[in-house]
Amino acid sequence: MRVFLGTDHAGLDLKAQLLRALADAGHEPVDCGAFEYDASDDYPPFCFEVGERVVTEPGSLGVVIGGSGNGEQIAANKVPGVRAALAWNRETAELARQHNDANVVAIGGRQHSVEEATELVLVFLATPFSEEERHVRRIGLIADYERDRHRPAGGFPTTTP
């Protein structure tokens, strides 16, 4: 599977390790940067690159890495069609794929050892979407909202009278 990886300075060392681990596991890792250490670089461009490439290449997945993974998840989710999930343990990595059909995983490089982070990414990549009707329906609601900004029935009003 082709896997796009992007990070700022905070995840540079982890990304280098993941590129090797993914290749060793039979994946085709693609490095979307950063390519050198710059303590003042910004993570959004790298996350946008990963997200755009995942969306335009069906069947691929992405990994965005930062200090916590939070900002990277937020940035990746700004790309229409991306469903990025922050994974902090094995279960969240599995559920992101099983229930949400996440196509990008966000990892906090400063939150995990290289071994732990590698396991989270490999679990994410190995876990299939469940295809359960309730999850398909929920993902459809999100995609519909992303496309035309109409909330589905059943929610609370977004403005007060």
Domains and CATH numbers, the chain: 2-130 (3.40.1400.10)
Which residues are known catalytic residues? 72, 99
Contact 111, 87 (CB under 8 A): no
- pLDDT per residue as tens digits for the range 50-79: 999 999 999 999 999 999 999 999 999 999
Q: Which pTM was predicted?
A: 0.93
Q: Cα(first)–Cα(last) distance of the chain, in Å?
A: 50
d(CA 31, CA 7): 9
d(CA 123, CA 53): 21
- pLDDT per residue as tens digits for the range 78-116: 999 999 999 999 999 999 999 999 999 999 999 999 999
DSSP string, 17-48: HHHHHHHHTT-EEEE-S--S--TT--SHHHHH
